[in-house]
Amino acid sequence: MKKTSILRNCLHCRALIALVALGATATIALQAPVIQAQTTGAANEPRPGEKSDDAAYRLNEEGKKLVAAGKYEDALEKFRASVKLFPLSNAIFNIGSMLYTLKQYDEAYPYLQETLRAPLNPEQREIALRSIENVVNQLKLSHAPAMIESSPPGAMVAINNKELPFPTPMRILVAFGTVDITVTSQGFKPQTMVVTSSRADMPKDMRVRLERDEPDAPVTVFCPKGADIFINGQMHGFEQARTRLLIGPHVVRCGKTQTTKAFERSVNVRSGPNAFEFSTATH
């Protein structure tokens, strides 16, 4: 490794070590990230009888020692294991710092941003902001930041099908060109936006309002010839009705004709096409 590269990494590591106090003062303010753990060995799991938060703190401390030894990838693994067990703000920052040191700048950005949600003192906040500024400068020819908010808040964001580790509201890095940004939240329909941007036309801040996801399915109802069709008390036509209904129970009423009496039937709509045949029924 060249001397200048070593110096750059060491300077950044000093910034990391300067934020160590976060681990003791701000460990519950942050959302746990949705990340797949890259750790499988017993060394990165809680010891027998060890609480998750205690194990998280221990792994974070072990990671810092690996940073001091220049073993950045091993340190990153420790920090990821720590955050998987308990969302220590210090470990979240350390993940971002290690990703930055390993030149994985776009991966580092959300972790560094998430650190700002913790109750930082002025010095700590300055370190976090400077790290974020460094990432933006490294990627200024290819990316730009934008704010994304959602209603409801707490939705997850994926850029080109790659999910980010923290929920909305959040600042994201948007690559120049055309990207798909998908916002999802349990119980709501996902929404995808196609965003096109460039250095001359920077990405705009986004606010997404999600619609509640009420799963439905296509339904066809057949009633006797000349009968009007009511579904859940609402008229849907004569003899044959095609509509979409929420999955679950409903009531179909076939009206009186010259040869048949009016009658009702309870139906249960399932996922996929549904057909309810009552054309030959008489009561």
Q: Provide the edge-to-edge strand list for the sheet that holds 228-231.
A: 234-238, 228-231, 248-254, 263-269
Within 13 Å, how many C-alpha atoms sit on residue 36's CB side? 2
What's the confidence (pLDDT) of residue 34?
47
61-119 pLDDT tens trace: 999 999 999 999 999 999 999 999 998 889 999 999 999 999 999 999 999 999 999 88
Q: How far is the C-alpha of 254 from the C-alpha of 262, rounded, in Å?
A: 6
Percent of all residues in the chain with a pLDDT value above 90, rounded to a whole number: 71
148-182 pLDDT tens trace: 999 999 999 999 999 999 999 999 999 999 999 99
One-letter identity of residue 254: C
Entry pTM: 0.69
Q: Give helix then strand counts, H and E, for the chain.
A: 7, 14
165 contact partners, CB below 8 Å, separation of at least 6: 33, 34, 35, 110, 111, 114
H or E stretch including 192?
strand 191-197
Residue 33's pLDDT band (boundaries 50, 70, 90)? low
179-193 pLDDT tens trace: 999 999 988 899 999
Domains and CATH numbers, the chain: 1-139 (1.25.40.10), 142-213 (2.60.40.3070), 216-277 (2.60.40.10)
Answer yes or no: are the C-beta atoms of 166 and 160 closer than 8 Å. Answer: no
